[in-house]
A and B are shown apart, each in its own frame.
Chain A
């Protein structure tokens, strides 16, 4: 394994900008790593749905020229990155891991993609996800699951399991994800990587294929807290193309990560959410979490317990609101202007073509959610289901407001278990939904939240994630606490690139 693929983005950028190594060399090393471990689709990591080696090397050459000219475009210029395949790219297909969009070439770049390009980052390719980001394992991808580099028989989390496994396997130092109910944080937790859901509205959603518009948020995936912060500042900030984009300045997340790394949390009040423990939580996850709580105390933080009684409504409210918004958002896949069209034989009318296309193009989970959303929004059920879910959202916002009145940040395990086996929950949607239990409240309330690796579970030796939640527009607090914890935890229990010897040997 080439040493370059084990380095953090910040260190890669330092070496590239000091001309100790070129962006082309760094990019080649990652493309070779992908070649070695990503395939075959049936047994490799399978993080990528599409690779663009030629485009990546051209972007790397451009970054090298800018460095040679003394003007790298940004602190991350020349560093490779992987993009979740629900972000539009003009030079690569964008499928959302759905047959209905197989091979689709979008006519515009997502704002975050345009910003990456302008900042001189090097897009390597598009990563796998649960179809339309609906799932917690990537098993709902129409193109087969990704695999967890720690154990290839296990899930890499979802929906952003392609991005998390790419970063965990050393295929890319950075990736972008989207988090509607935990799709950045839960994959980060189960692969031992960092995943951040920024405050709703602080990273533009323009060009993100919409799943649930009031919850969707793009954010960074990385192997260190500082790397995530550096990427956060490249993609964040107001965008006129997204009407929900907020005008407030982006919180100073890089500065906060650097301040946190000095390892002093004196004066910081941290609330442990009472409701996120007990039954359903794996002992090894709770053990690693308890150790993390102790470490935070040793860093000088005051740790208290906080009850958020309405968080129990988060899961049911989410599985009404997200499907409702999805049923509306996915109505655009009507076989008329782009994507798949089935049954256009002169015999079938437009509505029949629409139904045949959606039947052929969508997978089971997408159909389930569209129908549940259609039900929740129908005249007879609206008040009892969708209306009540919106009331639940109010109660959850109130719980956060009360908790943040006494605490600077809240913490919990990111997800109740470590990575489960591929296939274990595939036929039981309700069991799958439990993976998002701890992450959903922050989507419903719109506040910032991240997952940072907090060691390995004593049960099975697999990574555990510590979730840190901060108030809206106070993302910097979560970064500060995460960076301090990361230093105290030390590299031993942090993200490491699993060796994947078996895969490499078979190539």
Chain B
């Protein structure tokens, strides 16, 4: 197997900002281990094969450098979970009590 442990999955969940439950950790660790084991087959491919990141190679796709209207503030805020004084209101960003 690919040796993905329950602790590894807990770490991945933290990195991915997913507050997974213990029951989910039990389920996901087995499944993710099996999936990673299967997809690891790509390891057989020789190192000297060049990578492909995307298939329609385009570079420097630019539009003319002119000002254009952007989303109106009220439209941008209309679907916000919380807004105050014409801005997005977000929870405090520091973990510790101030």
**Chain A interface (Cβ within 8 Å of chain B)?**
104-108, 200-201, 214, 240, 243-244, 246, 313, 315-317, 319-320, 327, 334-341, 344, 346, 348-356, 358-359, 362, 364, 367-368, 370-372, 374-375, 378, 384-385, 387-395, 397, 429-430, 444-446, 472
Contact = CB atoms under 8 A, between A and B. Distances in A.
Interface residues of B, number: 56
Contact of A107 (B21, B46, B56, B76): B76
Of the listed residues B40, B56, B75, the one surrounded by the most CB atoms of chain A closer than 10 A to its CB is B56
Q: Is the interface of A mostly helix, strand, loop or mixed?
A: helix
* Chain B interface helix/strand/loop/mixed: loop
A24 B36 CA distance: 52
Contact of A340 (B31, B54, B75, B81): B81
Contacts of B40: 316, 384-385
A367 B76 contact: no
Contacts of A315: 39
B19 A339 contact: no
Contacts of A387: 51
Nearest to B64: A240
B96 to A, nearest CB: 8
Contact of A336 (B36, B76, B81): B81
B38 A430 contact: yes
A372 B36 CA distance: 7
B16 A370 contact: yes
B86 interface: no
Given A319-B39, A320-B39, A337-B88, A368 B55 contact: no
Interface in B8-30: 8-9, 12-21, 24, 27-28
A386 B4 CA distance: 16
Contact of B71 (A107, A344, A367, A374): A107
Interface string B60-73: 01010000000100
Contacts of B61: 243-244
18 contacts: A107-B75, A246-B58, A313-B45, A337-B79, A350-B90, A358-B17, A364-B24, A367-B18, A368-B28, A368-B32, A371-B12, A371-B16, A372-B35, A385-B39, A388-B43, A389-B42, A397-B52, A472-B55
Contacts of B36: 372, 375, 385
Contacts of A374: 12, 15-16
Contacts of B82: 341, 344
A359 B50 contact: no
A198 B50 CA distance: 26
A353 to B, nearest CB: 5
Top 10 A-B residue pairs of the complex, sorted by shortest distance between their CB atoms: A446-B55, A390-B51, A341-B81, A388-B42, A359-B19, A316-B39, A355-B19, A393-B52, A391-B49, A243-B61
Contacts of A353: 91
B55 A397 contact: yes
A372 B49 contact: no
Contact of B63 (A104, A240, A335): A240
- Interface-central residue, A339, A354, A371, A391, by most chain B CB under 10 Å: A371
A348 B53 CA distance: 39
A189 B81 CA distance: 40
Given A316-B38, A370-B18, A394-B50, A384 B43 contact: yes
